[in-house]
Amino acid sequence: MENRIKIEVLKSLEEINPIDMDLLCNCTPLGMDTDGLSEMMPIPDKWDLKDIFLFEMVYKPLNTRLLKKGKNGSARIIDGLDMLINQAASSFKIWFDVFPETKGIKTRLIDYLNNKN
């Protein structure tokens, strides 16, 4: 029997039952530390994020309200720094035909961002 993946495009959050989700990806600026967006959430507060994969593209702040909610709900987390690092490495490959070593960059970025303030 063939294993099929179902992808649906929805027009409203009201159409979503989070129990049916395996992955939640925040591709919005909501939660970003700019223009008063840091306290905003891209999902309703009532959603239970238990055991889903949560991909947050926001990297400033490092720990958004969505990530905090996901951690409290035992979601499996991929934060915005992973996206930022891999996007930069892929761009470097396009420009210089060399894929740079990315191991250790996240730790250095976190140290830099934490010590910047």
Residue 19 has pLDDT above 90, yes or no: no
Whole-number Å distance between alpha carbons of 61 and 82: 14
CATH number of 21-116: 3.40.50.720
Q: Give the whole-number percent of the chain exceeding pLDDT 70.
A: 98
Ordered by start, the domain boundaries in the chain are 21-116
Q: Encode pLDDT of 34-48 as tens digits.
A: 888 888 999 988 899
Write 37-45 long-range contacts (CB < 8 A, 24+): 38/64, 38/65, 39/65, 40/65, 41/65, 41/66, 41/69, 42/66, 43/13, 43/18, 44/13, 45/69
Which pLDDT band, with edges at 50, 70 and 90, does 115 fall under? Answer: confident
Does this model's pTM top 0.75?
A: yes
